[in-house]
Amino acid sequence: MSAAEVGAAVFDPFEDGFVESPYAQYARLRDGDPVHHSKLLHGWVVTRVDDVGRLLRDPSVSSDIRNATPNPLTINELERLAEQERASRTVVLMDDPDHGRIRRLLADPFRPREVARLAERVRERIARAFDALREQHGDGLVELDLISEFAYPQPVEIFSEILGVPDEDHPQFRYWAQCVARTVDPILSEAEREVCLKGLDDMYAYLEAVADEKRAAPTDDLLSNLVHADDDGARMTHEELMAQLVTLYMAGHEPVASLLGSGTLALMRAPDQLARMRSDPEVLRNGVSELLRYDGPNQFVRRILTRPTVVGDVELPAGEVIYASPASANRDPRRWGDTAEEVHVDRPDAGQHLQFGAGVHACLGSHLARLQAEIAFAAIFERLDDLELAGEPEWGNRMFIRGLNLLPVACRINAGRS
């Protein structure tokens, strides 16, 4: 490897074309500098599949930023967390034993059997959403933005319903949830941060009030269930519960919305694969795994080393911050072979992707995410005939959760088969 080639492998989210597709840059990093020191992030960008998997499963690796050797980004974040102490109590940023305690209290509603019970409600909501689109646009050939008109509102609506938030407040939640998603981005202007933090405050205030209502008069929903998980304050404090609710809100919709957009785009760009998904419901399940692998939303998962650790062939001391990339791992030809950069809905081992993370922090909502994605993709293929890309898609510039802001499509919205 020449110095020039090594030099070319730099993590640069501002590079031309990165927002549209970061994958060429990830490939250069995997080949030229798989454990790459990023000056921008004051940490190590790790891109190869084996290294990413190993780090996520390593019990000595921490999610708690307080374990990092101070650098300008961590100092900044710790200052923010000190002001917003409740945000630091999210399960995502905790280590065991607190992490395990909170995670066990949250786990029940997200188990496969519980999630499967939601299928009919999710299906009905999505069918109603397409009925409303047909009413609005008619049954002829129309152009619409699949993000703002479907992919974004749906997961918010569905999660709000699951949580037990009244219908009329769903749009407000959509805005708040976007604010929360933005606050976790390490690269954010002060002005943007302030707007986002205000949104977060409002969301806390709202959730506090609804949680109080559910505590007084429980109903059959996730929030009532979780409120009772903190009945005995020794198990989960009120502040801890609030932090988990905000986490669930963010985690519960943003990546699902992103997946619906990027997955539909990937299939429109590979019409043979779209036809395959459409023609065979059996392919759908595996196809959703492949869409997660091919262009899933989760770009980076942050970790902190708590002891000297060899990552790839680089020895790193305790306190170093690591940005492990499931998105890059999912395109690594070392694991996925020559077709790593292509979408194949029949790929036999697509389910082994790392989009849901791995180890103790592996996504708690993966069954719910899959349920929503399977039902939503099935509905897109069933209800939208002659589906085609109708203009340039626009990607958002978030570094952690990649997703489209705009996906113009042309289609005919049919009345549904049943």
Q: At what angle do helices 222-229 and 238-268 cross, to 10 degrees?
A: 140
Q: Round to whole Å and give the CA distance between 158 and 241.
A: 21
Judged by CB under 6 A, the chain residues 244 through 263 that form the site for ligand HEM are: 247-248, 251-252, 255-256, 259
CA distance 322 to 85: 23
Stretch 171-200: interaction string toward ligand HEM, x if CB under 6 A? ------------------------------
Q: What are phi and psi of 409, to 5 degrees?
A: -130, 155
How far apart (Å, rounded) are the C-alpha atoms in residues 7 and 38?
A: 12
Q: Does 297 bind ligand HEM (CB under 6 A)?
A: yes
Q: Is 356 in the site for ligand HEM (CB under 6 A)?
A: yes
**Closer CB to ligand HEM, 223 or 251, in the complex:** 251
Segment near ligand HEM (CB under 6 A); pick from 64-72, 165-173, 358-366, 377-385 = 358-366
> Are residues 64 and 78 in contact, defined by beta-carbon separation less than 8 angstroms?
no
Total residues interacting with ligand HEM, rule: CB under 6 A: 25
Q: Which is nearer to ligand HEM, 224 or 413 (CB)?
A: 224
Q: Please select the residue that binds ligand HEM; options are 364, 375, 390, 411, rule is CB under 6 A.
A: 364
165 binds ligand HEM (CB under 6 A): no
Bridge partners of 314, per DSSP, are: 311
CB-based closest residue to ligand HEM:
365
For position 103 contacting ligand HEM by CB under 6 A, the verdict is yes
Does 267 help bind ligand HEM (rule: CB under 6 A)?
no
Near ligand HEM in 48-67, by CB under 6 A: 63
Q: According to the binding rule CB under 6 A, does residue 215 interact with ligand HEM?
A: no
Query: H-helix or E-strand containing 27?
Result: helix 23-32
CA–CA gap between residue 160 and residue 171 (Å, rounded): 10
Applying CB under 6 A, among 62, 225, 286, 355 the residue interacting with ligand HEM is: 355
Q: What is the CB neighbour count within 10 angstroms for residue 307? A: 12
In the complex, least distance from residue 177 CB atom to ligand HEM, rounded to whole angstroms: 11
Give residue 146's identity as a one-letter amino acid code: L
Q: Is 91 in the site for ligand HEM (CB under 6 A)?
A: yes
Buried b (16+ CB within 10 A) or exposed e, 82-98: eeeeebbbbbbbbbeee
Task: Kindly state whether residue 10 participates in binding ligand HEM, applying the rule CB under 6 A.
Answer: no
Residue 328 binds ligand HEM, judged by CB under 6 A: no
Query: Residue 337 — left, alpha, or beta (φ > 0 → left; ψ -120 to 50 → alpha)?
Result: left
Q: Record the tokens describing residue 121, joined without a space.
A: 């409600």
Q: Tell me the per-residue interface mask from 298 to 327 with ligand HEM, x by CB under 6 A, - otherwise.
A: x--x------------------------x-
Q: Which stretch binds ligand HEM (CB under 6 A): 224-232, 314-322, 361-369, 382-390?
A: 361-369
Direct distance between the N- and C-terminal alpha carbons of the chain, in angstroms, rounded to an integer: 59
Q: Residue 111: which of 332, 364, 380, 373 has the closest Cα?
A: 364
Q: Rounded CA gap, 344 and 187, in Å?
A: 33
- Residue 117 vs 198, nearer CB to ligand HEM: 117
Our CB check for ligand HEM shows the closer of 116 and 275 to be: 116
What are the residues facing 406 on neighbouring strands?
394
Q: Give residues in contact with ligand HEM (CB under 6 A).
A: 63, 91-92, 103, 247-248, 251-252, 255-256, 259, 296-298, 301, 326, 355-357, 361, 363-365, 368-369
